[in-house]
Amino acid sequence: MRNVYLDYSATTPVKEEVLNEMIPYFTEKFGNPSSLYDKGLESKDAITEARERVASLINASAGEVFFTAGGTESDNWAVFGSAEALKSKGNHIITTKIEHHAMLHSCEFLEKQGYEITYLSIDKDGYISLDELEKAITDKTVLISIMMVNNEIGTVQPIKEACAIAKKHGVLFHTDAVQALGNVEIDVKDLGIDLMSMSSHKIYGPKGTGALYIRKGVRIANYLHGGAQENRKRAGTENLPGIIGFGKAAELSKANFENHVKHCSELRNYLKDRIINEIPDTYVNGTMEHRHPGNLNITFKYIEGESILLLLNQFGISVSTGSACSSTSLNPSHVLTALGVPVEMIHGTIRFTVGDFTTKEDIDYVVENLKTIVSRLRELSPVNSMKGW
Ligand SMILES: *Cc1c(COP(=O)(O)O)cnc(C)c1O
């Protein structure tokens, strides 16, 4: 049986070049980067190079990149670090209804501590309103956090304009760029970002490694306390192989950027066109205009996404419903809810995300199986006969 992985937004395989650079750092090059003998210095130098590679991908200076244990830690650090550092200024944070749970649940935690959080809505295309953003700012606002690219519907937000608004009002601006990294052009200087979360395993690097970009001059409180690692900002012996892998993945991502975007968007568009043209009652969620090149989010009316997922799985095809993080819960996706998709249609939604290893043959295989699965499920569906749905 063929194996087709169409869930690159959940995670990606580690590329061979990445793995090859990592391996020595598990074995002979195992020195603690804080040690002062050659074995330690060798590790320290390797981390410096990885930091430069990540910085180069986003046009930052190496000194502005702080390695973490992934996107989740970076989001938590950005929110809690800003809130703590600016608590004398205020207790209000602005974010959106469509953030990743790493951001939403961190904000909800702060809400319980007495913080006030404004959750911006999105329009039918999936964009926030800059007007709503500016009106939400008060003199108590300490942070604005708007994700660059959404993980479910792939929408790219107007980050540069949102940054300008934040700057005008003297408010810190953070963006969760985990899905954006390697998929849309990111120039932190041009965009005017203060804080930005990144993750390695979404760009063909290893899991458990990420980074927080902290613009020079921006002060936030530390999140992990202990040793003096990461310029005294993030304690804990460095995940050496992970960081080396992230650095290599960032270098490859920069070198392959245009090919990657072209390859993904062509296959994604081909998948979209085939599904929309060959399977009736299917709808794309979110705009196709400013969108993650590999993301396709489709509602199949009258049937359960969960059933589609399980049947596709029997044919060796991996996709996700709405959001990977809610795949074990029955709650309808908060992103599709914010987009205004009716709850019964949310339950019929599948997220397909293509990546560097996806081929046209993979897409054809998926569409052929999907056609059979969808028509079979619809025959069985009790709501099949419902009219005016
Ligand atoms: C995957 C993801 C995260 C979490 O990153 P981890 O490295 O898995 O902790 C955060 N935000 C977004 C948008 C993501 O897609």
Confidence at residue 389, expressed as pLDDT on a 0 to 100 scale: 42
Q: Which ligand 1 atom minimizes the distance to the CA of 209?
A: 7
What residues contact residue 334 under an 8 Å CB cut-off, 6+ apart? 97, 98, 104, 323, 326
Rounded Cα–Cα distance for residues 41 and 47 (Å): 10
Confidence at residue 381, expressed as pLDDT on a 0 to 100 scale: 76
Annotated catalytic sites, by residue?
A: 325
Q: Which ligand 1 atom minimizes the distance to the CA of 70?
A: 7
Q: Which ligand 1 atom minimizes the distance to the CA of 71?
A: 5
What residues contact residue 171 under an 8 Å CB cut-off, 6+ apart? 94, 137, 141, 142, 143, 144
Confidence at residue 384, expressed as pLDDT on a 0 to 100 scale: 57
Q: Is the CB of 353 under 6 A from ligand 1?
A: no
Q: Is the CB of 100 under 6 A from ligand 1?
A: yes
Q: Which ligand 1 atom minimizes the distance to the CA of 149?
A: 13
Q: Is the CB of 210 under 6 A from ligand 1?
A: yes
Residue with token string 């790219």:
156
Ligand 1 test: best mutation among 7, 11, 72, 186, most atoms within 8 Å of CB? 72
Q: Is the CB of 118 under 6 A from ligand 1?
A: no
What residues contact residue 169 under an 8 Å CB cut-off, 6+ apart? 134, 137, 141
Rounded Cα–Cα distance for residues 152 and 271 (Å): 17
Q: Which helix (H) or strand (E) element contains residue 259?
A: helix 257-278
Cross-strand partners of 175: 196
Residue stretches of the chain with pLDDT short of 70: 322-330, 383-389
Mapping DSSP to helix (H, G, I), strand (E, B) and coil, where does residue 141 land? strand
pTM of the predicted model, to two decimals?
Answer: 0.96
Alpha carbon of 179 to ligand 1 centroid (Å): 7
Cα angle for residues 175, 167, 116 (degrees, 5° grid): 65
Q: Strands, DSSP E only, in 185-277?
A: 195-199, 210-214
Closest-CA residue, ligand 1 atom 14, reads 178
Alpha carbon of 324 to ligand 1 centroid (Å): 10
Alpha carbon of 336 to ligand 1 centroid (Å): 18
Confidence at residue 216, expressed as pLDDT on a 0 to 100 scale: 98
Confidence at residue 388, expressed as pLDDT on a 0 to 100 scale: 45
Alpha carbon of 277 to ligand 1 centroid (Å): 33
CB 333 within 8 A of CB 122: no
